[in-house]
Amino acid sequence: MSNFLGEVRVSVPPTSIISSVTLMECEGLTLQKSMNFREEPHAVFLVLSRDDGTYKEEIRDGLLVLEGHDSVGAEGGGAGADQMLQYAGGKLTENGKFFKAAQEYEGRVREPLNVQVYEKLDAGACFDKGLFDLVGAERTKEEGRTVFKFFLRPCGDEYVAGTLKQERMLSAMEKQQIWSRTHGRCEGCGAQENLRFVDEQLVCMKDRGEGSGMLG
Ligand SMILES: [Zn+2]
């Protein structure tokens, strides 16, 4: 729980980095699709890099903004084509399902969809960005094509202030750059366990002096 000063007094896990294997087991998903719509226990959004190494992610007014998925398959999709809300037969795409949930929330006919977000660090590791509420969506044009943007508000008291918040809202691209520079090891001692991104470094629990106010 946090008080009005934003101090945090809850136990938090020693790291938010999980292996891709653990992620798949916990969520019951493969890592093929970026967007996985589910009501229970939550939807899952994987933040993946584009072909050019950038990520479909930005922070806007304290909200995490994630881009929808490109269409695949026989209907003429792909990275250069318009993103779609539904297939030719009328079935909703994942974009469509998230978009509908966001509109229903904005129209006050439902509670926000809970979305668990993970950021891919490399083929074997992901960052657990935590739970968000889906609070909005928009259709926009980028480079001449239609794309969808989804607006997510962080939830979870332990992640709304202090170092954990900074780590959580650090962009996927910055995390990936730090991860690749350090080869997934603590920059103090080389450990590969219990790591966190702190002040643009990757640091283990021992080297960050856990318990000495890192959350303050
Ligand atoms: Zn260390």
Task: Please give the distance, rounded to the nearest whole angstrom, from the Cα atom of residue 8 to the centre of ligand 1.
Answer: 24
Task: Please give the distance, rounded to the nearest whole angstrom, from the Cα atom of residue 174 to the centre of ligand 1.
Answer: 20
Task: Please give the distance, rounded to the nearest whole angstrom, from the Cα atom of residue 11 to the centre of ligand 1.
Answer: 20
Highest mean pLDDT among 46-55, 75-84, 87-96: 87-96
Average pLDDT over residues 14-38: 93
Q: What is the 3-state secondary structure (H, E, C) of 56-70?
A: CEEEECCEEEEECCC
Q: What is the pTM of this model?
A: 0.87
Closest CA to 175 of 108, 135, 117: 117
Is the pLDDT score of 150 beyond 50? yes
CATH superfamily of 17-165: SRA-YDG (2.30.280.10)
Task: Please give the distance, rounded to the nearest whole angstrom, from the Cα atom of residue 12 to the centre of ligand 1.
Answer: 18
Task: Please give the distance, rounded to the nearest whole angstrom, from the Cα atom of residue 201 to the centre of ligand 1.
Answer: 11
Mean of per-residue pLDDT scores for the chain:
87
Give exposure, 116-132, as e/b (b: 16+ Cβ within 10 Å). Answer: bbbbbbeeebbbbbbbb
Task: Please give the distance, rounded to the nearest whole angstrom, from the Cα atom of residue 6 to the centre of ligand 1.
Answer: 27
- Who contacts 1 (Cβ-Cβ below 8 Å, separation ≥6)? 9, 10, 157
pLDDT class of 163 with cuts at 50, 70, 90 = confident
Amino acid identity for residue 185 in this structure: R
β-partners of residue 118 are 46, 128
Mind listing the pLDDT tens digit for each residue in 18-27? 999 999 999 9
- Give the Cα separation of 73 and 28 in Å (integer): 23
Domain residue ranges of the chain, discontinuous segments joined by +: 17-165
Task: Please give the distance, rounded to the nearest whole angstrom, from the Cα atom of residue 13 to the centre of ligand 1.
Answer: 16
Interstrand relation of 195-198 and 57-60 (parallel, antiparallel or unpaired) = unpaired
- Give the Cα separation of 179 and 55 in Å (integer): 15
